Structure 1
Amino acid sequence: MPPIILLILKALEGRGAERMVTTLARAYADLTYDIHVLCLEYTQDMPLDSRVQYHVVPYDEVFSEQNIEPKSNQAQAYEAVARHIDDYVLSQIGTPDLILANIYKINWIMAYSQLPNIVNVLHTALSKQFQNPLLDAPVQTINHLKMVYGAHPCSCVSDGARQDLLALIGNVNKTTTIYNPCAVDDIQKAAKQSLALSQFGITYKGYMIQVASFDSMKGHHDLLHAYAKTARRYPLVLVGKGRLESEIKQLATALGIDDCVKFLGFQANPYPLIASAALLLLTSKFEGFGYTIVEAQALDVPVISTDCPFGPRELLPAKSLVPVGDIDGLAILIDQAIDNLTHYIVPLNQQLLPNHIARQYLAFGSVLNS
């Protein structure tokens, strides 16, 4: 029997953690493993390889069946969901040889799980994600995080995120750094899909792009303020969706740059847009990794980024980075990059290929089981 690999996450939404899961799932399918993806919501913005078995255990149904109000007792609610996941996995999938639990909510739920071989995958920096709770209730927050991340070994998607974890809660469990996989062949193939740029009012290599959800951590406010200070030789294309989208549109109007900023919404396949861009930007306030950086590298597209905690500095040279919040510096770097685009092309690290990353998780799991 081939080893059973189980990847758990909230839903297959179009973000970095979900791209990691779909890419890694395919890599394990290529290794002919028995690969499963389990979600807690039905939302599916991203496709899975046909060889991957897809499961949904809706947590809202668990809350309803057991008459639990998660807002009043989240720990009790998540413990009930963990029991439900355990029962489902053992009866419908079997005993996994490796379980990768992705993102904080799943990490918390799986802290109550009795399943073996669980590894928490941290996709961001905890000190940034929990910045406000750490200020408001530091002891309670740190004790909670020790409970969540002390339950199972942890893998972080950048070494900066791992060091952040250790600094915050101490060495409460085994940890490692395993970067997110970059499916170069898939990205390059997807980038060749026919796309009429004219429908968006843009031309090949005649625009710059940011692909990110409209969330405060992604730094759209700073990006627009910086872009307004540039020569604006190329329009700025924003791909993504999120709760701040209307606010950012209003800001573009207020800054008088709405004729130069194009909102394209969520794109299931953003790669033709990335490949056709003159420059890709990442202006996050914090990241665990910075997926769009390596995706641009796979397509030989120049990249500049904020030097945010913690991923970009492990993927890009110093010349391609600007401090978070330095709007004038970002404006200058954008204009410099447009003046000399080839100077900001960085080759992809071949160790980020999916088969390498898949084997690293297996090696970490085998160490834990030895």
Structure 2
Amino acid sequence: MFNNSNKSIAFVINSLEGGGAERVICNLLRTMQDTFTSQKCKVYLLLLDDLPEEQQCPDYVEKVTLNAKGKLIPSYRQLSQWVKTTQPDLLVSFLTRSNVVSTIIGKRQNIPSVISERVNTSSHFATSRTGFISKFMVKAVYPKATCVVPVSQGVMQDLVDNYAVPAVKCSVMYNAYDQASLLEKSQITVNDLPQKTYCIGIGRLVANKNFTLMIKAFAKSDSQRDLVILGQGPDMPALKALAKEQGVESRVHLLGFRENPYPYLVNADYLVSTSNAEGFPNGIAEAMCLGKPVIATNCQSGPAEILTGDNNTRTESYLAAEHGVLCKVNDIDAVKSAINVMEEQGSIEKYQQKSQQRALDFSYQHMQATFSNVMNKALKKTEIKETTND
């Protein structure tokens, strides 16, 4: 349990645009509300960019919006000035840019920093034009953070092996999910569900999510279902053209972004995820909370850890695993075969039960306990350092 009263804690993230990290930071703030208020802590949420907000910050948190316009140097300057003026006792950040500037500011102003890494860094920056610079900054800065909170064992292993982050500084904290709330949201009526049974994919329409692979594998599979894809992004026109080219234009429904995706998810027969890289895939965990079977590519990191319990699981093609079907990354035939396995008689019912069992491991109680321990550890390290200096 968190046992530091009257502390001021500043959470930092790029913005509250729609996305997994943005949703998680707001959920974490809600989860910690009783703890923070009982300890009389002052809690801030710093947004580096002034952008439209898809996520709702809890009322007890004081939100401060900067205007760095997505740039690193303005992010550092503006956040540094705020920290110098306000002097919080702890900085907690999410996403790479926020993590880098928060860590540097924390070191220079003697404030402990807790950084949360949401993606597998090596895979996430592998195809980016600026990926080399981003990876250099991570390796130079992340080891200087007081504590590092990877979202999965796989993300932690990548940071330790490739970015010089000491394992002793790391505490894995899985995302947590309010199953009752998800179920309630899933019961809201929507009017654009397909008439036929369908499987579903959810995520931003960008290269890293590899919806191109999903559509190609779906077109080659034996499935008679439709495919619903929820998400917005630059790949939308190309994906529509691809569905037409593959002869499944009438069966692939690209519905765009939905603030509430859960009615579409709960009415699907199963979820398909074909990402090239993840941190801890919220879409997979949320599908399992709603009892949906899952097919996922074995990308770094998260899917194998969720579906098999072991992040080091290898897949030559596809694997009908303990909690879902895992397939090789960027392999059309593997995903096609995984879809065919899920279409076999009894598979959907079997994996519905498996998903419900696995979902019990992602509770808010576990998240709260882990995060409280991390904050205690970070604050204690600073107190020890101050005592030593005295």
**Superposition TM-score tier, normalisation by shorter sequence:** 0.7 to 0.9
Letter paired with 1:37: L
Match status 1:17 vs 2:21: yes
* Equivalent residues in 2 for 1:109-148, closer than 5 Å: 109-114=101-106, 116-132=111-127, 143-148=136-141
Q: How does 1:208-287 map to 2 (within 5 A)?
A: 208-287=199-278
Superposed displacement of residue 286, structure 1: 1.0
Q: CA deviation at 1:112?
A: 2.7
Change over 3 Å in CA distance of 1:217–1:2 after alignment to 2: same
Which residue of the partner structure matches residue 10 of structure 2?
Answer: 6
Residue of structure 1 in register with 2:159 after alignment: 165
Task: Give the aligned partner of residue 99 of structure 1.
Answer: 91
CA distance in 1, matches of 2:364, 2:233: 28
Q: How does 1:68-107 map to 2 (within 5 A)?
A: 74=72, 76-87=73-84, 90=86, 95-96=88-89, 98-107=90-99
SS at match of 1:209: strand
> What secondary structure sits across from 2:32 in the alignment?
helix
CA distance in 1, matches of 2:179, 2:152: 19
Report if the CA contact (8 A) 2:113-2:378 is conserved: no
Alignment partner of 1:344 out of 351, 356, 360: 351
**Percentage of pairs with the same residue:** 23
Q: Mean alpha-carbon deviation: is it higher for 28-37 or for 106-115?
A: 28-37
The code of the aligned residue for 1:344 comes to Y
Cα distance change on mapping 1:106 and 1:56 into 2, 3 Å: same
Residue 107 to residue 281, structure 1, CA distance change in 2 (3 Å): same
1:111 CA displacement? 2.9
Note the aligned Cα RMSD (angstroms).
Answer: 2.5
- Residue-by-residue CA offset, 1:135-171 (whole Å, 9 max, x unaligned): 996xx76543222212312111011111011111224
**Which shows bigger deviation, 244-253 or 154-163?**
244-253
Cα separation, 2, equivalents of 1:141 and 1:48: 28
Instruction: Output one character per residue of 1:184-203: Cα deviation in whole Å (capped at 9) or x when no partner.
Output: 2221221122223xx34335
Matched residue, 1:307: 298
C-alpha distance 51-284 of structure 1, shift in aligned 2 (>3 A)? same
Task: Quote the residue 1:360 is aligned against.
Answer: 370
Dislocated runs of 4+, deviation >6 Å:
133-136
Aligned counterpart in structure 2 of residue 58 of structure 1, from 67, 86, 89: 67
Distance 1:162 1:53, change over 3 A: same
Q: Secondary structure at the match of 1:273?
A: helix
CA 1:301/1:142 → structure 2, altered by over 3 Å: closer, same or farther?
closer
Q: Return the letter of the residue paired with 1:353.
A: S
Aligned residue runs from structure 1 range 169-180, under 5 A: 169-172=163-166, 174-180=169-175
- For the residue of structure 1 that corresponds to 2:204, the secondary structure is coil
In the comparison of the two structures, how many residue pairs are matched? 347
Q: For 1:165 and 1:143, locate their aligned partners in 2 and report how far apart those are by CA, in whole Å.
A: 12
Q: Check 1:188–1:35 CA distance in 2 against 1; reply closer, same or farther (3 A cut).
A: farther
User: Would you say the 8 A contact 1:304–1:344 is kept in 2?
Assistant: no
Residues 99, 356 of structure 1: alpha-carbon distance in 2 compared, 3 angstrom cutoff: farther
Is contact 1:215-1:243 (8 Å) kept? Answer: yes
In structure 2, the gaps of 5 or more residues are: 309-318, 381-390
Amino acid corresponding to residue 23 of structure 2 in structure 1: R
- For the 8 Å contact 2:122–2:135, the answer to whether it is kept is no
Letter aligned with residue 363 of structure 1: N
CA distance in 1, matches of 2:172, 2:185: 28
Q: CA deviation at 1:15?
A: 1.5
Which ranges of structure 1 fall in alignment gaps of 5 or more residues? 64-69
